[in-house]
Structure 1
Amino acid sequence: MENNDEIKIDLRSMVFDILKNLVIIIMVSMLAALAAHLVIKSTHKPTYKSKLSYVVVSTDTSVINNKDTQNRIVKVFQEVLESSLLRSSIKESLGYQDGENFTAEISTEIVQNTNINGVDENGNIIIVTVSDSDPLEAYYAAKALMSNCGTASDYINKNAILTVLEKPAIPSADSNAVNYIKTDILVFAAAFVVLCAIAGFISVKRDSIRNAEEIKEKLGSKLLASIPDVSMKGRKKAKRNLLVTDKHTGFYYIENIKKIRSKIELLKPEDQGMCIAVSSVSSGEGRSTIAANLALSIAMHKNKVLLVDMDFKNPSLHKILGYDGTIPSFSKFLEGEGTLTETTRSVENIKVLFQENAVNNSSEVIDSKNMKTFFSYVKEQYDYIIIDTSPISASADMEVLAEIIDYAVLVVKQDTAPSADINEAIDMLERNKCELIGCVFNGDTKSAKESSYGYGYYGRYSGYGNYSNYSHRDHK
């Protein structure tokens, strides 16, 4: 086992993780866009603007020729139009009582020598804008302003004339309108990018086994084979499981099972059978399918092989092998029901001990005297005994079994179990003097194109219960 604290960015795995969560990312992004839409719509205050324009024309030639004087006159008019006195006059004209809130806003802008309504004006233009949340209020306020400032020029400068160029009109559109489609798209895009970045960050920080090379780098273990990840849709439709004896199974998959077989055969003792537990840290890593195919492949070399379903939490070998007959449980045999011959079934070219139902006191069953006697017997009768176990994280079964058997194979599915948990499982095997032959890297997306089909039946583990409530019985 090796510890490696250095974080490496595997771009391919990171993109794969993002794509794996793409549906969730899109849904959350859509929810973010919808929430933003509702918030903006509920808080948005429309603004309607009614505009009128004045031109300030000087009748005195000296003023006309003096730009500074002309500008000063225009600015005085601008101050009058924005004054509180004129605002009070407008309120009175509109019938507002003392204390009533007059919400209209008045603003002015000076524009020189501007073409308005097709007329080139020689003087300075003052554009007045009256804004309100109600279009009619804006319009009436603009009209009242025009009425109340008609004589303003007489009090400011008798040589300057304030003339209306453009009368106000009722505004038809919100000048502060929100483009909801554009906003929704922007919020969706921003949420999508942020969520993809978060998914990528989590992918980088999650310390799992992402490729076959990391079996050695992070676990310090031997790589037995790299099994490709491919779809099971075609097989489910045809009601076929992934078995090396099936002619439809991909060549690359079969060859990698043979690799595992070859490395195991080199370790077999000459004087007795070899007991090998096929295990994994988590559920859904393809452990049971690998165990079944390993047994079938070894038997092709004229070996006597016994496959034992010791996944006492969620037995599934009968489903993987497609066995439709009566299923006597291996655990019942250990409790004294029936003989080994009556309990054993023949499937393809191997013998199988199935398990029909889950067992509550599985650790006690494994640690029983009958179990030890069983292994001593079958080692004399078979060349290889392949054992499908419960996931190491699901129960203490594998830890108990490791004290009885001599060899184990660990199935590691790509980007599933944390490296720390796998290393802990390897340490557990070492403590119990159970030799780890190596790891099988399962679900390799990099080599998926080389195989036609995916991984058979994966059991789902849930609700194992509280082990303190199990019934513990002695086994003779």
Structure 2
Amino acid sequence: MEQRRGEYRMDGVDRALSYTVLTDVLRQWLVIFCFAVSAALLAAAVMQWHYQPSYTSQATLYVTKKGLPNNVYDNESSAQVMAEHFEQILNSSILQKKVAEEIHLADFAGSASAEAVEETNLINLAVTAASPELCFKLMQSILKNYSLVSDYMTGNAILEILKAPKVPLTPDQPFERRNIMIKAFLAAAACWVLIFGGLSWLKDTIRTEEDIEQKLEARRLGTLWHERNRKKRTDIRIDDPLISFRYMESLQKLTQHVQKKMEERKAQTLLVTSVLEKEGRSTVAENLALALSMRKEKVFLLNADFRKQNASWLADEEGHLKIENFQKLLENLKKENDYVIIDTPPFLQNADTEEMAQMADASLLVVAEHRAQAKDLNAALDLLNAQGEKNLGCVYNNAHVEFLRPMASYGYQYAYHYGRYGGHYER
């Protein structure tokens, strides 16, 4: 059993790591797409700049001997020897100089080759140059002037044209812009996927419940699972009839643990904070207040982000907290309520949060899946515990259960439900 639990735990870690890396890559899809398109356009431009097309004109010759009819073929070895001799003819300086002069060029601007067709007396002649017109002119001039040299090398052999050359219409290797752009796009996209995936893998964040135990100096009081199919709604409230039972149950368990610890410490004010924005801090604070009110507790939820509010009595013109006034407010609220939940700004964005933590009786740190660095979370925990270990622990928020646990590990059913209690909370 212990071995199987260990396998589930490792499987959950692998799933969480794969999921968080994948989501980080998908969040950067627009950046990846833009870089890939840029790479494709750049590759096409560079290849176009360096592209030098070449064209080849071909002719077919057949070999006969002097004094024999044209339909009498020479043997294979004679044709092979003739092709070798003709290759030397094409590369001779005499012929190339004559061809260049005839078409008014400084030198022979191309290449020519000859190859014998196996088991025949046929020879394929090919001339390659930078343009269709040039290679055709070179071919025509070679066929006209090769006899200047061939009479001294081929003996009694005669070359006749079997297939006349034509002006080539397409380059030997066409510029394949589409294929170049597709390959460059895929290569660049794969490269950036690896870069973003590697950076995500190297992040020292909280990806599983086990990470909290291993990386943070705090106890996990509960886990709040990710709510799917929220459409355009961003708020998650436990009084919403569409809320999942899984979320409701996990929130009730968290509330039970928080309330128990606060009763043990005789605490009334609870500061709920996080390290970064968008970790679900306000949602947790609001639902804690709702859950406590369902337990017939009188709860006051205080939005302590005074920089976004017109609260001159509690903050100065620059938004800095007026400590004495805030302390008086808390004392008055404690007299009128059983619990005061303080929803504060993130630690890394507002220095007033540390001051509020010193005045609150207890604190709760919201840790969202794969958001803040472990070192920043531990630094925040140290600040929360600077005045006598006030931190109750942390809540792991927005966990994706489908990727963290095998289906069999949570595929059970419940035979009970939570009732709906009276009570209210104030904002």
Question: Where on the TM-score scale, by shorter chain, does this alignment land: which range?
Answer: 0.7 to 0.9
Q: Give, in whole Å, the separation in 1 of the partners of 2:308 and 2:222.
A: 26
Normalising by structure 1, we get a TM-score of: 0.74
Q: Is the 8 A contact 1:279 1:392 kept in 2?
A: yes
Partner deviation per Cα, 1:40-85 (whole Å, 9 max, x = no partner): 2233222111112333445699xx6794x76555323211112222
Amino acid at match of 2:43: A
Cα 1:14–1:271, aligned 2, differ >3 Å: closer, same or farther?
closer
Cα 1:27–1:42, aligned 2, differ >3 Å: closer, same or farther?
same
Q: Give, in whole Å, the separation in 1 of the partners of 2:153 and 2:357.
A: 105
Q: Is the 8 A contact 2:297 2:338 kept in 1?
A: yes
Report the number of matched residues: 387
Of 104, 112, 115, which residue of structure 2 is paired with 1:110? 115
**How far apart are residue 407 of structure 1 and its match?**
1.2
Q: Which residue of 1 aligns with 2:49?
A: 42
Q: Which residue of 1 aligns with 2:96?
A: 87
Q: Which residue of 2 aligns with 1:221?
A: 218
Q: Is the 8 A contact 1:273 1:381 kept in 2?
A: no
Q: Which residue of 1 aligns with 2:138?
A: 141
Of 375, 385, 390, which residue of structure 2 is paired with 1:430? 385
Alignment of 1:363-382 (within 5 A): 364-365=321-322, 368-382=323-337
Which segment is superposed worse, 261-270 or 142-151? Answer: 261-270
Cα 1:113–1:57, aligned 2, differ >3 Å: closer, same or farther?
farther
Of 170, 178, 182, which residue of structure 1 is paired with 2:179? 182
Residues 1:268 and 2:262 aligned together: yes
Amino acid at match of 1:302: K
RMSD of aligned Cα (Å): 3.0
Q: Which residue of 2 aligns with 1:282?
A: 276
Q: Which residue of 2 aligns with 1:361?
A: 319
Structure 2: 5+ residue runs without aligned partners? 1-12, 69-73, 411-427
Q: Is the 8 A contact 2:83 2:114 kept in 1?
A: no
Residues 1:295 and 2:253 aligned together: no
Of 168, 172, 181, which residue of structure 1 is paired with 2:169? 172
Q: Give, in whole Å, the separation in 2 of the partners of 1:416 and 1:176.
A: 52
Normalising by structure 2, we get a TM-score of: 0.81
Q: 3-state SS of the aligned residue for 2:257?
A: helix
Q: 3-state SS of the aligned residue for 2:359?
A: coil
Q: Which residue of 1 aligns with 2:303?
A: 309
Partner deviation per Cα, 1:398-449 (whole Å, 9 max, x = no partner): 2112222231111111111111111111122222335221222222223599
Q: 3-state SS of the aligned residue for 2:306?
A: coil
Cα 1:66–1:376, aligned 2, differ >3 Å: closer, same or farther?
closer
Structure 1: 5+ residue runs without aligned partners? 1-7, 115-120, 316-328, 336-357, 451-476
**How far apart are residue 170 of structure 1 and its match?**
0.4
Residues 1:163 and 2:172 aligned together: no
**How far apart are residue 260 of structure 1 and its match?**
1.6
Q: Which residue of 2 aligns with 1:339?
A: none
**How far apart are residue 302 of structure 1 and its match?**
0.9
Q: Give, in whole Å, the separation in 1 of the partners of 2:392 and 2:48.
A: 64
Q: Which residue of 2 aligns with 1:439?
A: 394
- The sequence identity of aligned pairs, in percent, is 27
Q: Give, in whole Å, the separation in 1 of the partners of 2:29 and 2:245.
A: 31
Amino acid at match of 1:251: F
Q: 3-state SS of the aligned residue for 2:372?
A: coil
Q: 3-state SS of the aligned residue for 2:371?
A: coil
